[in-house]
Amino acid sequence: MTESQTPAANVIEAERLGYVEYEIDIERVLRTDLPGVLDRVPIAPLTPEAVNAIPAGAKGAYVLFENGHPVYAGKTDTRHGFRDRLGRHAFTIQHRQNLDPSTIGFKAIRILVFSNFDVEAILIDALRKADKSALRWNDSGFGSNDPGHNRERQEPAGFDVERPIDIDRSLGLPSATHALLDLLIMLKDGLPFTLRYQTDQLPGKKRPEHYRTGHADQRAAAPVAVEESDTLRSILTKALAVLPAGWRVTVFPDRVILYAETEPYPYAREYIPA
């Protein structure tokens, strides 16, 4: 019996009568069946409600869609299931220019023999063979982690250039007065993109203080009054007004930083104050 006669298995006949070795070619089964399974799954909106409806701990492969068109294929791993990975995507697509979150949906496939097979590559190959324009977000930097300070000179990812963050949307925060550092912590923890701000560099320490400790200038600053209509731009402008001279906001395609510095960055979109 040959492999061509058994497309889902490898059968090796032994010389000894009555004995055979049989190995299922699961990767070939996945390549054959997975695209069809994906086609039959309805697209769900990429919302917390839809993501949390997935069974806890489920993992496998998924595809994101924009207006019904596949734009990104990914997979989860042993640490991060669908809820974690898709929830992060649902959060990070908020507050982007040229991107309406209501147009983004997903399909997720739990694969019980998942861990030993590159189902992401199988899906990418199948979707791109069917449509050369599919999966534009793959290899574009979508979903990558923040690189950290002192790396702002790196060229931004293509996804972030095409869909930069929007700092002019109302954040809808309740009207209240906050200590500046408390306000910065709240923004950093709540924004769907990275906000980084300077913290103290204490003598003898290799790393700056944790962001919740902040900087002496931030801790000593006057309180900031926030209105429900405030945007990130207006809030950070208020922050600059209570900080000493020399502090500046720099807006990049994917993040915002607040530092006491004057150096230019090649990929900055704007500086506040200009």
Per residue in 83-95, pLDDT (tens digit) is: 999 999 999 999 9
pTM: 0.80
**Residue 224: how many CA atoms within 13 Å on its side-chain side?**
26
pLDDT in tens, 242-257: 999 999 999 999 999 9
Q: For residue 272, how many other CB atoms are within 10 A of its CB?
A: 17
- pLDDT exceeds cutoff 50 at 108: yes
The CA distance from 259 to 255, in Å, is 13
- CA distances to 79, 158, 161, 201 from 191, rounded to whole Å, are 24, 21, 19, 25
Residue range 237-245: mean pLDDT, rounded:
98
Q: Which of the two residues, 135 and 14, has the higher pLDDT score?
A: 135
Q: Compute CA 57 distance to the chain's CA centroid, rounded to the nearest angstrom.
A: 19
Residue range 11-26: mean pLDDT, rounded:
66
Q: Is-contact 40 57, C-beta < 8 A?
A: no
Residue range 118-125: mean pLDDT, rounded:
86
Residue range 97-124: mean pLDDT, rounded:
85
Q: Which of the two residues, 244 and 4, has the higher pLDDT score?
A: 244
Residue range 103-130: mean pLDDT, rounded:
84
Q: pLDDT grade, residue 5 (50/70/90)?
A: very low
Q: pLDDT grade, residue 77 (50/70/90)?
A: confident
Mean pLDDT of the chain: 88
Residue range 187-212: mean pLDDT, rounded:
92
Q: What is the pLDDT of residue 112?
A: 75
Residue whose tokens read 């925060």: 173
- pLDDT exceeds cutoff 50 at 2: no
